[in-house]
Chains A and B, each alone.
Chain A
Amino acid sequence: MGNTLLQYATVLMLSIFVGIEIISKVPSILHTPLMSGSNAIHGVILVGSMLVLGAANTNLEEVLGFLAVLLATLNVVGGFVVTDRMLEMFKAKPKSEKKSDEVTR
């Protein structure tokens, strides 16, 4: 067991605490975008997919790597676009007084 493994384990532990700390403050009205947004973030597997396809030596690795890049792209692009579409809809109430002002003007 090398030092690198220990270093990764440290990153893992700290990320768990950061994850829990941040998420516990999200109000329930934003649970769907939270889920969808974190869904997009695990699309970072695209980076891993690029690395395995970019290192592929055999046909089998190429096929599997190609599929991985394709699936990961679906995840990352779909995830961010869907989340943005949801969040676009969360608008505050337009001030009704202002509205009537505009009409009278």
Chain B
Amino acid sequence: MSRETLIDLLYLFSATTFVLALKGLGSPKRARYGNMLAAFGMLVAIVATFFKYVDGHPLRHVGLIFLAMAIGVLIAVPVARFVKMTAMPQLVAIFNGVGGGAASLVSITEYIHIKSTHPATYVILEVLLGVLIGTVSFAGSAIAFAKLQELMTGRPVTYPGQQFLNAIFGLGALALIITILVTGSSSLLWILLALAFVLGVAFVLPIGGADVPVLISLLNAFTGLAVAASGFTLGSNLLIVAGTLVGASGILLTRLMSKAMGRSLTNVLFSAFGSVVTASGDATRADGRSVKSGSPEDVGVLLNYASRVVIIPGYGLAVAQAQHVVRELAEELEKKGIEVFFAIHPVAGRMPGHMNVLLAEANVPYEQLLEMDEANSELQTADVALVVGANDTVNPAASDDKTSPIYGMPIIHADLAENVVFLKRSMRPGFAGIENELLYNPKTTLVFGDAKDTLTKILATVKAG
């Protein structure tokens, strides 16, 4: 067997481990082994690549390759290992962005390498697509990172003529690609690179924090597609398979996420959702109804008399870092024979499945986490719905009020429970910027304050009771 055939066989093995890894992610029990298998497959592919011949000679600059890898490992391991769990969404965003950047650089470098041989038009097209998609993913992820890390506002950033400008950028990139294909001018490639960068930034700016779960999975798909494009240019089946798997899965996940918001993908990406705040944020409404606020002790007593409690977490739980206290509270209630469930909205938080990871970190067993539909049937018989840092995902306007901007979004029906308790920092509206009727419902009690403090006090009362 020749050297090249052996290497290709090893690549085939790697590609298989990637497929099996994604399949393994279908169950919590096998997921970890799946991920380890993919990591092993990746290692095999990397080691095999060191023995590959390019242009008829063994790999050059092996020292440089090792140096770059060493720097990468030295940065990535500590960051990935020790960054707080609540910072997970921005971490995923940034690791995705650098992948897009790498794909873009690979396409450019390969183009510089082969341009003297006058490559076929379709090869140049592959390069240009790799550069465009990879760079958009890189720049977009950087902005998403800045939004999640709160280096900039999480609200949509809008300016006059924004959509028009974005359309110009998009069409400009397209026109540039056609020009390069026709003229074969390589200096225009750098302009495309710059334009793609601007496009990535401009495209993400108007997308608000609560829509980031959709955005992150879309950018993930972009990087996958950029990798697949590089695979075409380099003639690597491994890159095509891996890139396409990620691209396809990312797009599917993106669609699932926007469906969970009851909005179309175009609406999520282009409508600057959440930039208009219509809620007054007052405790008393114009019609004289006001909210009923209570103390943590009241809630503790209420919980002690309940037999079935459903906890509905939202992004506020992550912000307050209250996941451990909420788990303690759930355990304490269970000890008293009270049934406790967590109701997880698919888009709660800032990335797909954010609440699941957060609660898993606090050792909440995953059997206790209910998906939306299941949760809604449990809520019908629940005595208390405890809403911690969520708002829009329990807003009944999504099913009652046809004029509401969130109308059509599937929600968790906290209003079905006997009693509803909201833990909120203030009367500030949720991300959608609209009034939540449930806050003024007579069976609702509001407890203002930091979710972690409040939960600690509730826990103390439950323990004493």
| Interface, chain A (partner B; CB < 8 A) | 1, 4-5, 8, 11-12, 15-20, 22-58, 60-62, 64-94
**Contact among A12, A50, A74 with B98 in the assembled complex (CB-CB below 8 Å):** A74
Q: Is the CB of A55 within 8 A of B113?
A: yes
A74 to B276 Cα, complex, angstroms: 38
Asked whether any CB of chain A lies closer than 8 Å to the CB of B460, the reply is no
A93 to B334 Cα, complex, angstroms: 13
**B63-104 residues at the A interface, CB under 8 angstroms:** 64-65, 67-69, 71-73, 75-77, 79-81, 88, 91-92, 94-96, 98-99, 101-103
**What 7 additional pairs, Cβ within 8 angstroms, besides A8-B237, A41-B42, A85-B81?**
A8-B231, A12-B240, A34-B352, A48-B236, A66-B68, A88-B32, A91-B365
**Contact among A69, A71, A82 with B65 in the assembled complex (CB-CB below 8 Å):** A69
- Contacts known (A16-B248, A40-B35, A76-B42); A45 close to B217, Cβ less than 8 A: no
Q: Is the CB of A75 within 8 A of B99?
A: yes
A40 to B353 Cα, complex, angstroms: 17
Q: Is the CB of A24 within 8 A of B122?
A: no
- Contacts known (A33-B353, A53-B64, A77-B72); A42 close to B246, Cβ less than 8 A: yes
Q: Is the CB of A92 within 8 A of B231?
A: no
Q: Is the CB of A64 within 8 A of B105?
A: yes
A15 to B250 Cα, complex, angstroms: 13
**Contact stretch, chosen from B23-31, B194-202, B283-291:** B23-31
Asked whether any CB of chain A lies closer than 8 Å to the CB of B270, the reply is no
Residue of B nearest to A92 (CB): B365
A74 to B18 Cα, complex, angstroms: 18
Q: Is the CB of A44 within 8 A of B60?
A: no
- Contacts known (A29-B371, A62-B64); A70 close to B72, Cβ less than 8 A: yes
A40 to B99 Cα, complex, angstroms: 9
- The residues of A that contact B101 with a CB separation of less than 8 Å are 67, 71
**Contact among A16, A46, A50, A92 with B59 in the assembled complex (CB-CB below 8 Å):** A50
Residue of A nearest to B93 (CB): A39
| Interface, chain B (partner A; CB < 8 A) | 14, 18-19, 21-23, 25-29, 31-32, 34-36, 38-39, 42, 45-46, 49-50, 52, 54-55, 58-62, 64-65, 67-69, 71-73, 75-77, 79-81, 88, 91-92, 94-96, 98-99, 101-103, 105-106, 108-110, 112-113, 120, 122, 216-217, 220, 223-224, 227-228, 230-232, 234-250, 252-253, 256, 344, 346, 351-354, 356-357, 360-361, 363, 365-369, 371
Residue of B nearest to A69 (CB): B68
Q: Is the CB of A54 within 8 A of B62?
A: yes
Instruction: Classify the interface of chain A: helix, strand, loop or mixed.
Output: helix
Q: How far is the CB of B463 from chain A (nearest CB, A)?
A: 19
- The residues of B that contact A68 with a CB separation of less than 8 Å are 102, 105-106, 109
Q: Is the CB of A51 within 8 A of B234?
A: yes
A90 to B69 Cα, complex, angstroms: 30
Residue of B nearest to A75 (CB): B99
**Contact among A25, A32, A75, A84 with B353 in the assembled complex (CB-CB below 8 Å):** A32
Q: Is the CB of B232 within 8 A of A8?
A: yes
A54 to B239 Cα, complex, angstroms: 17
A15 to B234 Cα, complex, angstroms: 18
- Contacts known (A11-B240, A69-B65, A92-B28); A24 close to B252, Cβ less than 8 A: yes
- The residues of B that contact A76 with a CB separation of less than 8 Å are 42
Q: How far is the CB of A105 from chain B (nearest CB, A)?
A: 21
- Contacts known (A30-B25, A48-B230); A20 close to B249, Cβ less than 8 A: yes
Residue of B nearest to A40 (CB): B38
- The residues of B that contact A58 with a CB separation of less than 8 Å are 112
- Contacts known (A37-B22, A69-B65, A84-B36); A11 close to B122, Cβ less than 8 A: no
Residue among B55, B246, B366 with the highest chain A CB neighbour number at 10 A: B246
Q: Is the CB of B92 within 8 A of A67?
A: no
| Closest 7 pairs between A and B when the two form their complex, measured CB to CB | A73-B72, A19-B248, A54-B59, A93-B365, A31-B353, A15-B244, A31-B352
- Contacts known (A23-B249, A30-B26, A42-B242); A48 close to B234, Cβ less than 8 A: yes
- The residues of A that contact B18 with a CB separation of less than 8 Å are 41, 44
Q: Is the CB of B54 within 8 A of A32?
A: no
Residue of A nearest to B82 (CB): A85
- The residues of A that contact B216 with a CB separation of less than 8 Å are 35
Residue of B nearest to A32 (CB): B353
A25 to B23 Cα, complex, angstroms: 8
A91 to B81 Cα, complex, angstroms: 19
**Contact among A20, A33, A46, A62 with B252 in the assembled complex (CB-CB below 8 Å):** A20
- The residues of A that contact B73 with a CB separation of less than 8 Å are 73, 77
Residue of A nearest to B75 (CB): A74
A105 to B103 Cα, complex, angstroms: 59
Q: How far is the CB of B332 from chain A (nearest CB, A)?
A: 14
- Contacts known (A69-B65, A69-B72); A30 close to B31, Cβ less than 8 A: yes
Q: How far is the CB of B214 from chain A (nearest CB, A)?
A: 11
